[in-house]
A and B are shown apart, each in its own frame.
Chain A
Amino acid sequence: MSRMMLRKMLKNQSGTITAVKVAGELGRRIREMGLVPGTKVTIQGRAPLYDPVALRVMGGTLTLRNNEADLIEVEVEESSE
């Protein structure tokens, strides 16, 4: 178990969000899609140019830009690869 920013996570790695470090419109957008502390996320893949990143969250898929993923802190489990 270790904490890292969501951006650093590898494909297929899972973790639980511990903090979302942004307020304002961006913070609101991130939270309203369910990216709040306690939510489990799995990296589903990245776009052909490595950015944005696609996440599996609560049975749906969300996309984030890398600089947005930089604002989300995650506690990761062992990589499932």
Chain B
Amino acid sequence: MIDVIKLALAGNPNAGKTTLFNSLTGSRQHVGNYPGVTVEKKEGFYRVSPDQQVRVVDLPGTYSLTAYSVEEVVARDFLIHEQPEVVINITDAANLERHLYLTCQFLELGVPVVIALNMIDVARDRGISIDVEKLSRLLDVPVVPISARSGEGVEALMQEAMTVASAGREWQEIRLSYGDDLDSALLEMTNLISANSFLTDIYPARWLALKYLESDSQIVEKGREFAELSGLRSVGEQLEKMVAVVSNHLQVTLETVPEALIADHRYGYIKSIIRQGVVSRSHDEERIYASDRIDRVVTNRVMGPLIMLAVLLGLYQFTFTYSALPVAWLEIGFGWLTRVIEHSLPPGHLRSLLTSGIIGGVGGVLGFVPLIMFMFFGIAILEDSGYLARVAFMMDRIFRIFGLHGSSVMPFILSGGIAGGCAVPGVMATRTLRSPKERMATLLTAPFMNCGAKLPVLALLIGTFFAGNQAGMMFMLTMLSWVVALLVAKLLRVTVLRGEPTPFVMELPTYRLPTFKGLAIHTWEKTWQYVRKAGTVILGVSILLWATMTFPGLSTEEEYLFDQQRQQMQAEYGGVVGSVALQEKLARLDGARAEQALQHSVAGRLGRLLEGITWMAGFDWRTNIALVGGVAAKEIVISTLGTAYSLGAVGQEADDSLSKTLAMAPNWNRVKALSLILFIMFYSPCFVTVVCIVRETGSWKWGAFSIVFNTTFAFLLATVIYQVSLALGLAG
């Protein structure tokens, strides 16, 4: 039988956890989510011997084990509920003191730990040497120096971990002193907990008492629930009272809270260990490392913003320019497939379903793949190298005004902050934000930017109605999208996403050269997630949209009339098929037929129905259908308008004739065009984006919110502009 050992990898962000995980599990890994939350869960297998496998679970990177963030709750719940046989705590040898803070909390919990002293190569270069024996003896846990990147020491680490795992010892917590007041309270509470078996099936008694003292919201709530269910209400109340008493006492005598005192004592314990000669430096501690020297230039008052601008522009170029080629290949491929189907199937619903519904849908999904791959690759470079944290550092002052975070700048730019991006990678890029509310506000407003799909629609309308100053107009619209996105973000942050700004206390990691392997795995993982999760939903929706624009279709009589007209025309020209005049007439007839079919369809009826409200912003039913179609993908607006105005032509020709048609149409003018431009810029994100919003927020609620909120907002804006301009007599 294959014996499976459960091993958890834990550590601070940037300790090298991902690198170690990849080197242990190679390609045998699986990415999922922890149940109920959007935190990523990575698992893989490491083979010790042919009949012994280790299941390696990568816990989220955290600095602590409190209840303040989802990541921390997920990490400690995993340890407590799944009881891994061993935890590898990966630490940064060059930054040991701070990394031992988390270690300390594992020891307080009592899990069997092996410390991986990572980045030993960096420490060596910096002249930092660590007395591994002594550290191990003082902490009473095995310590193995490794370099996850080169693989040095990893085998020894795994051997040590296997020894600990197979020893199968009981959980054994260390007992730190947190000062007399807390120590005596802790002892009393622990005794009370043990005596009543209060939650002791799940949590170690002393740890539970400690969490009560730290006012840990999750534990206090669990305690209340348990007290209620098990009839131990008095015990629960007593525990809370003991905390209140000692808190009060500390407040009066030391002007502090237990939580703070506990943290201070943890660091005190760590410092006392480090001071016993565990870490020695051959250089002055104040020595300026290469990383600091880079920062002097890169975050310099003058050079910093310039370099940042260049880097962000570079990322943008890289994502959108270099992915253009594979995108074009995909388009050619799908175009070819469409033609094959058109040649081999008779016209009809099946053909139209295959070409417009399925190929359109799958093509829509896959069309984003190169974009997403390039974007994640670019971001991974910025993130792994440590530059992204500097961007957040420099931009924070500006973005904080709007309730956002310095890291919000990148999602905005990718979404179209420089006109022509795409909200899909933009929304996905918000993953780099660690502050939950700021992240939500960013991902909900990033779709306001002018993405590449809105551009042709905007260009057509500007070209038709504001010819002469196209570039200026486009620039103004780009500025407008920034203003609106930031103001709406602010609005959200004082309403639905109300709350204190998340503290900015953040690490500026040492600059490092990313490895290609790390980048490739990261990119592949994210891209595959997109294809798998978004793909299925989007295919379904695009079929649905196809159906609403196709059914119920023309009645048999109407079909008959069109067929008859067609035959008549052909007869008039005496069967001369090549005649240009005939071709034109037939195309016009086909156009009229498509228009009538569209008008008949569910979408068409919806368009007419909506006219009852949309007249306020100046939109007629034809525009409405196009806008409904635009929810599938913004590009569709133009082609649907074309069909609604019964233009048979396709491609550039169609755009030109649509432009002419609109310019001549009696109810179209500058004011209506402006109103429509504003609406298209700000209304519901396209469906692919909505699906991504749902994925990133973990709830359909936010997807629905972005559809309803954005559409309402855009409509109000368009209506106000339209009505005011009309009143001012600007329509002429």
A interface residues with partner B (beta carbon < 8 Å): 20, 23, 25-39, 42, 44-45, 47-52, 54, 56-65, 68
Beyond A34-B101, A63-B505, is A28–B95 a contact (Cβ under 8 Å)?
Answer: no
**Interchain residue pairs with CB less than 8 A apart (6):** A27-B260, A28-B66, A29-B505, A54-B393, A59-B95, A65-B396
Residues of B within 8 A of A30 (CB): 503, 505
What are the 6 A-B residue pairs with the smallest beta carbon separation, nearest first?
A: A49-B397, A31-B263, A61-B508, A32-B64, A29-B503, A23-B257
Is B299 in contact with A48, judged by CB distance below 8 angstroms? Answer: yes
Q: Which of B292-333 contact A (CB under 8 A)?
A: 292, 295-296, 299-302, 304-305
Is A47 in contact with B64, judged by CB distance below 8 angstroms? Answer: no
Whole-angstrom distance from the CB of A59 to the nearest CB of chain B? 5
Beyond A27-B259, A27-B260, is A62–B267 a contact (Cβ under 8 Å)?
Answer: no
Is A62 in contact with B505, judged by CB distance below 8 angstroms? Answer: yes
CB of B504 within 8 A of chain A? Answer: yes
Of chain B, the residue at the smallest CB distance from A37 is B264
Inter-chain CA distance A20–B254, complex, in Å, is 12
Beyond A47-B397, A54-B393, is A36–B505 a contact (Cβ under 8 Å)?
Answer: no
Q: Which of B45-65 contact A (CB under 8 A)?
A: 63-64
Whole-angstrom distance from the CB of B685 to the nearest CB of chain A? 31
B interface residues with partner A (beta carbon < 8 Å): 63-64, 66, 68, 94-95, 97-98, 101, 128, 256-257, 259-260, 263-264, 267-268, 271, 285-286, 291-292, 295-296, 299-302, 304-305, 389, 393-394, 396-398, 400, 500, 503-510
Is A48 in contact with B505, judged by CB distance below 8 angstroms? Answer: no
Of chain B, the residue at the smallest CB distance from A38 is B271
Is A64 in contact with B267, judged by CB distance below 8 angstroms? Answer: no
Residues of B within 8 A of A64 (CB): 504-505
Is B64 in contact with A28, judged by CB distance below 8 angstroms? Answer: yes
Inter-chain CA distance A29–B98, complex, in Å, is 13
Q: Which of B259, B295, B397 makes the CB contact (< 8 A) with A44? A: B295
Beyond A34-B97, A48-B299, is A62–B259 a contact (Cβ under 8 Å)?
Answer: no
Considering residues B64, B286, B292, B397, which has the most beta carbons from chain A within 10 angstroms of its beta carbon? B397
Is B97 in contact with A31, judged by CB distance below 8 angstroms? Answer: no
Residues of B within 8 A of A58 (CB): 95, 97-98
Whole-angstrom distance from the CB of A29 to the nearest CB of chain B? 4
Of chain B, the residue at the smallest CB distance from A26 is B503
Is B396 in contact with A51, judged by CB distance below 8 angstroms? Answer: yes
Residues of A within 8 A of B302 (CB): 48
Of chain A, the residue at the smallest CB distance from B506 is A63
Q: Which of A27, A35, A38, A65 makes the CB contact (< 8 A) with B504? A: A65
Whole-angstrom distance from the CB of B296 to the nearest CB of chain A? 8
Considering residues B260, B264, B506, which has the most beta carbons from chain A within 10 angstroms of its beta carbon? B260
Residues of B within 8 A of A56 (CB): 292
Q: Which of A27, A33, A38, A42 makes the CB contact (< 8 A) with B98? A: A33
Is B68 in contact with A25, judged by CB distance below 8 angstroms? Answer: yes
Of chain A, the residue at the smallest CB distance from B303 is A48
Residues of B within 8 A of A23 (CB): 256-257, 259-260
Residues of B within 8 A of A44 (CB): 292, 295
Inter-chain CA distance A57–B263, complex, in Å, is 17
Beyond A28-B259, A58-B97, A63-B504, is A47–B68 a contact (Cβ under 8 Å)?
Answer: no
Residues of A within 8 A of B263 (CB): 28, 31-32, 36
Residues of B within 8 A of A35 (CB): 505
Residues of A within 8 A of B507 (CB): 33, 60-63
Is A54 in contact with B299, judged by CB distance below 8 angstroms? Answer: yes
Inter-chain CA distance A21–B101, complex, in Å, is 20
Inter-chain CA distance A60–B302, complex, in Å, is 24
Is B299 in contact with A60, judged by CB distance below 8 angstroms? Answer: no
Inter-chain CA distance A55–B504, complex, in Å, is 13
Residues of A within 8 A of B256 (CB): 23
Inter-chain CA distance A49–B64, complex, in Å, is 31
Whole-angstrom distance from the CB of B537 to the nearest CB of chain A? 35
Apart from A23-B256, A35-B505, list 10 A-B contacts with CB within 8 A: A20-B260, A27-B257, A28-B64, A30-B505, A33-B505, A36-B263, A52-B393, A54-B393, A61-B510, A63-B505
Is A59 in contact with B285, judged by CB distance below 8 angstroms? Answer: yes
Beyond A59-B94, A61-B508, is A47–B503 a contact (Cβ under 8 Å)?
Answer: no
Is B397 in contact with A52, judged by CB distance below 8 angstroms? Answer: yes
Inter-chain CA distance A15–B257, complex, in Å, is 24
Is B295 in contact with A45, judged by CB distance below 8 angstroms? Answer: yes
Q: Which of A33, A50, A57 makes the CB contact (< 8 A) with B63? A: A33
Is B267 in contact with A34, judged by CB distance below 8 angstroms? Answer: yes
Residues of A within 8 A of B295 (CB): 44-45, 54, 61
Residues of B within 8 A of A48 (CB): 299-302, 304-305, 394
